[in-house]
Structure 1
Amino acid sequence: MHGGETTAYNPDYLRKQEKASIPVCNILGVDVAAIDMKWLVAYISGNLPELSGDYICVTNVHTVVTAYEDPEYRKVLNGGIMAIPDGGPLSSLGRRRGFPAMRRTTGPDLMGEIFRISVSQGYRHFFYGSTEETLGKLAERLEAAHGGIQIAGMYSPPFGPVSAAEDEEIVRLINEARADFVWVGLGAPKQERWMAEHQGKVKGLMVGVGAGFDYFAGNIKRAPEWMQRGNLEWVYRLMQEPGRLFGRYLHTNAVFIWRTLGESIKYIRKKPD
């Protein structure tokens, strides 16, 4: 500052400056964070108070293709702190495009890493989504695995639309819990839209983790390590829920392969000789 000038506090400007430090690989219009898990946990831990009220999207092939086809949803994915590469094909593509450090950072893995350090760091957690039965199992298993973990609150929202009055009550409930992390398990694209709508209203860092609640509650199992390493976890999920996922995967995987192939050809042509 010069000559006694003062700079007005502008949280939007500061957030843009903070986001500028995050390396991204643009895939079908979505700015996917070109990071690994170690970087992500260090970033969150080192900036947690400043991230309160904002959100992180957990992005895979399905959400990227959905965003490619829906510009409004694309704004949602690009409008938070970052969209992390949950899907293996995203990080693999990123490495081919010049981001050698880019690795898969799944929602459940991020939850596990944060839970592991929560007691020592004094982190408080709020879980929003799923069913009361799943939330109960989730709490029981977390407390057994991480003695002393602080579960500040849980809420299973109604299945249908929520009125303005009900939404205000939900926000009040979350904010009074004083949580550091607000884990949102509504499934994509609903959870990302909910976080964007509550950006700046909810206290705590919102993270949309999809089926993460079910994994930690023991309702569904993760794929074996060899399938995760080979970007085949989607096959394992498909075997578990073929009726729900077959049509989705058939469409989104085909669009992703076709469109990213076209992008890659353009990318190669633009590279200098």
Structure 2
Amino acid sequence: MNKRFKIFDYELDLITKEEGLSCAESYIEEKKSAQVVTLNPEMIMMGEKNSDLKTSLQKADIVLPDGAGLVMAVKSFGADVHRIPGIEFSEELISKAAEHGWKVGFWGAKEDVVQKAVENLKNKYPKLTVSYVRSGYYNEEEEPAIVGDIKTAGTQILFVAMGVPKQEIVIRKYKDILGCLMIGVGGSFDVWSGRVMRAPKIFRSLGCEWLYRLIKEPNRFSRMFPSLPLFVFRVILNSNKIKKENRNVQS
């Protein structure tokens, strides 16, 4: 059982990327359904306003600390936490899928984006078995048929790129029906397609990938910055409670 850190009403796994991949591999090999969440402060604050998202985050099987702000907050309480960027974790899963012959599905983004992303990934990982590809644009009444097709295809890992909160809610809704490992990957399809460039390594190493994305996509400002100061304020306000709840994981 992984150690978990509790912050507000959410828990995240205190594991390395390698340990996270090992956990994911166990679910896949044992044919168990699982939801992987790559958590950040924005998602936490959004969950406070969206009960479906909150439930999805709380019930997730593997919760990886992705956001730099979240990692800094957890470290301030003495916990041994490792930032695990969702896109890096996902691509290592894809690499393992190619190695082990696992069937992988891609659901989300625009049609041309998801198709190009899959094309690029198959070129990079020639042994990759892609079982399903579908854009994230559809009518709600189409969902049962889409889910049926994913299941019929024998998909073992499903990457869902619909943005938060939709992707987490959809994953939670169909996780047990599909019986596979599912992970919400946000804008990763855009990066894999070559449409969007990932932040340079210097930004990533400093934990400032969010800043690079903000510079490139200024429209993100209105969405991110009400959440970040509120998150910091809540951490400070609840610091005694957070310390008390996590005594067992403090170094």
Mark the structure with the bigger radius of gyration: 1
Match of 1:53 in 2: 33
Change beyond 3 A, Cα 1:268–1:205: closer
Change beyond 3 A, Cα 1:268–1:119: closer
Find the aligned partners of 1:47 and 1:71 in 2 and give their Cα distance: 27
Find out whether 1:250 has 2:225 as its counterpart. yes
Q: After the TM superposition, which residues 133-144 of structure 1 pair with which residues of structure 2 at under 5 Å, given as runs?
A: 133-144=112-123
Change beyond 3 A, Cα 1:69–1:27: farther
Match of 1:8 in 2: none
Q: What is the one-letter code of the residue matched to 2:114?
A: L
Contact 2:136 2:162 in 1 (8 A): no
Shift in Å at residue 22 of structure 1? 2.5
Q: What is the one-letter code of the residue matched to 2:193?
A: A
1:106-153 alpha-carbon deviations (Å, 9 max, x no partner): 211011211222222112110011111011111111111111211111
Find the aligned partners of 1:146 and 1:246 in 2 and give their Cα distance: 35
Q: After the TM superposition, which residues 151-166 of structure 1 pair with which residues of structure 2 at under 5 Å, given as runs?
A: 151-159=130-138, 161-163=139-141, 166=142
Match of 2:101 in 1: 122
Find out whether 1:112 has 2:99 as its counterpart. no
**SS of the residue 2:130 aligns to:** strand
Q: What is the one-letter code of the residue matched to 1:254?
A: P
RMSD value, Cα: 1.9
Shift in Å at residue 167 of structure 1? 1.9
Q: Which has the higher contact order (CA 8 A, sep 6+)?
A: 2
Contact 1:28 1:68 in 2 (8 A): no
Find the aligned partners of 2:158 and 2:243 in 1 and give their Cα distance: 40
Find the aligned partners of 1:213 and 1:104 in 2 and give their Cα distance: 21
Find the aligned partners of 2:60 and 2:115 in 1 and give their Cα distance: 29
Find the aligned partners of 1:185 and 1:206 in 2 and give their Cα distance: 11
Match of 1:86 in 2: 66
Contact 1:27 1:64 in 2 (8 A): no
Match of 1:29 in 2: 9
Find out whether 1:188 has 2:140 as its counterpart. no
- Unmatched 5+ stretches in structure 2: none
**SS of the residue 2:176 aligns to:** coil
- Unmatched 5+ stretches in structure 1: 1-20
Of the three residues 192, 214, 218, the one matched with 1:238 is 214
Query: Given the two structures, how large is their TM-score scaled by the length of structure 2?
Result: 0.91
Sequence identity percentage: 23
Q: What is the one-letter code of the residue matched to 2:164?
A: A
Find out whether 1:42 has 2:22 as its counterpart. yes
Contact 1:28 1:65 in 2 (8 A): no
